[in-house]
A and B are shown apart, each in its own frame.
Chain A
Amino acid sequence: MPASRFTQTGNYRVRYQQDQTIFATYAEQLSLVVLLLALLLLPLLISKTLLRDVNMIMIYAVAVIGLNVTTGYTGLINIGQAAFMAVGAYATALAATKLNLPFFLAIPLGGLAGAVVGTFVGLPSLRLKYLYLAVATLAFQIIFEWTVGHSPLLAQGGAIILPPVEVFGIKATFLNHNKVWYYIILPVLVVMGLLWRNILRSKHGRSFIAVRDNDRAAAAMGINPGVTKLTAFLVGSFFAGIAGGLFAYFQKAVVIEDYGLHTSVQLLAMAIVGGLGSVPGSFLGPLFIVALDRGMGGLSNFMSERQIFPPGVDAATALRPLAFGLSIMLFLIYEPRGLANWWRLSRMYFKKWPYKF
């Protein structure tokens, strides 16, 4: 047993199973508990609009973990993650409205639908690589939007309204919608994050990274690159499907515009800014991009108050894409490992604190 389980003073693991643990020291476990407590109390402390943003960030985080599975960990460029979200959203909406399933069944069903469709769309990855695969996923994004637009069953892309949910006797209403959904989305996100951490330390997670880093060597290890890529699509689009199901309920309706190409690009941006192939990055990326978006909104309000622009001109519509594109470029150039790298460096600093090295 370790000499001290409070902080890490060295490696005291004597069994291989201990080497597999995720949160090893008491300090790590304690900080996790503190974090969870803070998260549980958060809705009581912040405004309704901010809570709405937090909910969005968490839903995007689920989708970005999934995008990291395919693009970050397995190296398969995927410009269709929003369409996989849409598959989940529509499946959830149909399950809720046509089959009258409760949300805790409808959302997992959305995840499964995403997984099935995603695996199918991943088939070209058996033959195509790099940009060619990106084009294949882009094609799916466009075909899917077009198909929804022509399907009467899916309201031709118009709104499919979802019924309000009831959890433990509490009905979600206009007033408490954001709070209720916060307490649904948060545990879903935590569970999904843990599931991904589990996959990552298993043979499946290792094979994803192996195929990304060197598919020749991976094949020489007996890993079937094709099966591995399809598995990555399966897992990645399962996450997208779950995120889509959550988003459908959270927005109270499914509209195809929410899942367009711009959303796919936005998800990619979140993954890149957060740090491709990193778990903390999947949280930091959505946080950054949503904060940037709100920041630009605020800046534009400030500028129109000071009458820097003529009245009636909404500077935000110009500032948003500008800041968005600029931040992707700057990250790609100066910090390709994303915010997750800053996160890692600051953690290392605190692990050694108060010693310098």
Chain B
Amino acid sequence: MPQLHVDNVTLSFGGLNALSTVSLTVPEGEVVSIIGPNGAGKTSLLNCISGFYHPTRGRITFGEHDLSKAAPNVVTRYGIARAFQNLELFRGMTVVENLLLARHTHLNYNLLDSILYYGKASRVEAENRHYVEQIIDFMELEEYRHHHVGTLAYGVQKRVEVARALTLQPKLLLLDEPMAGMNVEEKEDMVRFILDIQRERGVTVVLIEHDLGVVMDISDRVYVLDFGQLIAGGTPEDVSADPRVIEAYTGVAEHEPLPQASPSPAQAVAR
């Protein structure tokens, strides 16, 4: 069973520790959220997992694969996909073209097949397109199919970013603030997509999100980062009652508890 283990990871930039001795586990099939104030090191942690940064100390493993020194394209081949916080789409390409690119590692033909583009390459590309269209259906992007990504609204681009990560057919999906800058309606849609991705497709999800209502609603497990340190971890109930978490979030100890699963977009969907 591929489980993600982050084991005592420290990441230093010069003197600054973006992460200090962080350890956490992401069990298969769960939605695990990472929360924390701005600059807490959440994105840095995802960067370490997905191979863009390598931990200064410590180890990250996914199943039997060691990710600590792996390059991003290798991590992707292990079955880990990522949607970036700051959109990293191919802006000059259409939605379909962006998603076709994400099938790269699943396409089994070589340069000679490409050159001839007859038989194998043509057939594989048609299947490829078929798969991409399924994802477009799933993420409800039909009307934008042939739009250039750069021309789409921010919320739609965020959805394309998630769709593209999903097209990689990952076992583990890393989502870095997929709902940032979205209106309530768009957020509700995104929550529904995330839950469908987990339940219907059996994909493990790591979610970074600032909207605590959403986080507490849909997560099986929540980890809290503050100044690069893991200050709490556990079920949403445990975490939202934890005094250190309340302090990190409000700046004051002994304050009101954080919002529990209260009126939030996720509720309508989760029922």
Contacts and interface: CB of A to CB of B under 8 A. Distances in A.
- Most B-side CB within 10 Å, residue of A210, A220, A231: A220
Interface magnitude class on chain B: 35 or more
A221 B89 contact: no
Contact of B84 (A195, A210, A217): A217
Nearest to A277: B92
Contact of B105 (A206, A217, A222): A222
Contacts of B126: 15-17, 20
Contact of A207 (B104, B129, B130): B104
A210 B84 CA distance: 16
Nearest to A19: B129
A235 B116 CA distance: 14
Interface in B121-166: 121-123, 125-126, 129-130, 133, 164
Interface string A95-138: 00000000000000000000000000000000000000000000
A231 B121 CA distance: 17
A231 B104 CA distance: 15
Contact of A205 (B102, B109, B114): B114
B262 interface: no
- Most A-side CB within 10 Å, residue of B91, B117, B122: B117
Given A20-B126, A201-B125, A203-B114, A216 B104 contact: no
Chain B, interface SS category: helix
B114 A199 contact: yes
A223 B84 CA distance: 16
A222 B77 contact: yes
Interface string B76-112: 1100011010001111110001001111110101010
Contacts of B82: 220
B101 A207 contact: yes
Contacts of B243: none
B253 interface: no
Nearest to B91: A213
A206 B129 contact: no
A204 B116 CA distance: 12
A62 to B, nearest CB: 15
B193 interface: no
Contacts of B88: 214, 216-217, 220
A353 B102 CA distance: 38
A225 interface: yes
B12 interface: no
- Most B-side CB within 10 Å, residue of A19, A198, A203: A203
A72 B122 CA distance: 25
Contacts of A231: 111
- Most A-side CB within 10 Å, residue of B72, B102, B125, B129: B72
A234 B115 CA distance: 13
A332 interface: no
A213 to B, nearest CB: 5
Contacts of B116: 198
Contacts of B130: 16
Nearest to B108: A203
Contacts of A251: none
B230 interface: no
A339 interface: no
A202 interface: yes
A139 to B, nearest CB: 27
B71 interface: yes
Contacts of B114: 198-199, 202-205
A118 to B, nearest CB: 14
Given A205-B114, A206-B97, A210-B101, A17 B76 contact: no
Interface in A290-325: none
A279 to B, nearest CB: 15
B227 interface: no
Contacts of B101: 206-207, 210, 218, 221, 223
- Most A-side CB within 10 Å, residue of B81, B93, B115, B123: B115
Interface string A179-222: 00000000000000001001101111111011001101111111
Given A219-B51, A220-B84, 14 more contacts: A195-B115, A199-B114, A199-B117, A202-B113, A202-B114, A203-B114, A204-B111, A213-B92, A216-B52, A217-B89, A220-B73, A221-B164, A224-B73, A234-B111
Interface of B: 50-52, 71-73, 76-77, 81-82, 84, 88-93, 97, 100-105, 107, 109, 111, 113-117, 121-123, 125-126, 129-130, 133, 164, 168
Q: Which 8 A-B pairs have the closest CB atoms?
A: A202-B114, A198-B117, A222-B105, A222-B76, A16-B129, A219-B72, A217-B88, A16-B126
24 contacts: A15-B126, A19-B129, A198-B121, A199-B115, A201-B117, A201-B125, A203-B107, A203-B114, A203-B125, A205-B114, A206-B97, A206-B101, A206-B104, A216-B52, A217-B90, A219-B51, A219-B52, A220-B76, A221-B101, A221-B102, A221-B105, A222-B105, A223-B73, A231-B111
